[in-house]
Amino acid sequence: MTVWIDTHCHLDAPEFDPDRDAVRAQARAQGVAHCVIPAVERSNWATVRALAHRHGDSYALGIHPLYTGRAHDADLELLAQELEQHRADQRLVAIGEIGLDYFVPGLDPARQEQFYRTQLQLARRFDLPVILHVRRSSDKLLKGLRELPVQGGIAHAFNGSLQQAQAFIALGFKLGFGGAMTYDRALQLRRLAAELPAETLVVETDAPDIPPHWSYATAAQRLEGLPQGRNAPGELPRIASALAELRSQPLEDLAGITCANALVALPRLQALVSV
């Protein structure tokens, strides 16, 4: 069976409360051998760690930019303590999900940047890669990385320009591609997915978010009572098939390359995953 690594899956999300273990088992049956489960705020640090250990997966600890408005400044010091306490845990593979979001209104840009830069400093202190949330924020994120270099990581759900992609790659990052790439209208993203060097790509679901086109319900359909589709890690092989088709590449080759790339981006995975 073809083996996959889902480099970004929020398995702790409440959408999975009714059937979380079944969802993970189904993904494994589809060849998803490993999921990376990033945290988003202090309240779910213990949860993502427990899930990673329960399912043989891995996790990242951090404070997501969308949660900086309700986070306390003291949470950054608590994060440092958490990283120190669990630094020997091989399933702790990154600082994340961190970054900047200039798409969602109502967030304080200065506060986002404070949390982002402090977490970059923690990544340097604990010698861990980072998992970046990148939404209309590539240039500011890159500025921070140049001023506070880290060992690399993953630019999750990348949707920037070719020049921005090349800049992240030059700083040691792999680029995460998932459900957004499956939409025909995502012309720039699909062009990047087709043309970027294979050694720069990893695959992800961001489950339960960013559903692929076959799971997405439009606003009109939702008004008619059709529920929004829930993304799940078991969708990864089909999402990857869309990437393979864009690249005119055999699916098995893409699986091997993207798994190898994930191990480079998150080196602690090397002790956890056989590819």
Condensed to tens digits (0 to 9), the pLDDT of residues 83-137 reads 999 999 999 999 999 999 999 999 999 999 999 999 999 999 999 999 999 999 9
At 216, is the pLDDT very low, low, confident or very high (cuts 50, 70, 90)?
confident
The pLDDT of residue 227 is 61
The pLDDT of residue 208 is 98
Q: Choose the CATH number for 4-271 among 3.20.20.140, 3.30.450.20, 3.10.20.600, 3.40.50.300.
A: 3.20.20.140
The pLDDT of residue 275 is 72
* Measured distance CA(5)–CA(7) in Å, rounded: 6
Task: Record the pTM.
Answer: 0.96
Q: What is the rounded average pLDDT for all residues in the chain? A: 96
* Measured distance CA(268)–CA(56) in Å, rounded: 13
pLDDT at 218 over 90: no
> Residue 156 pairs with which residues in a beta bridge?
133
In the chain, where the domains are located: 4-271
- Going from the C-alpha of 114 to that of each of 39, 41, 148, the distances in angstroms are 18, 15, 13
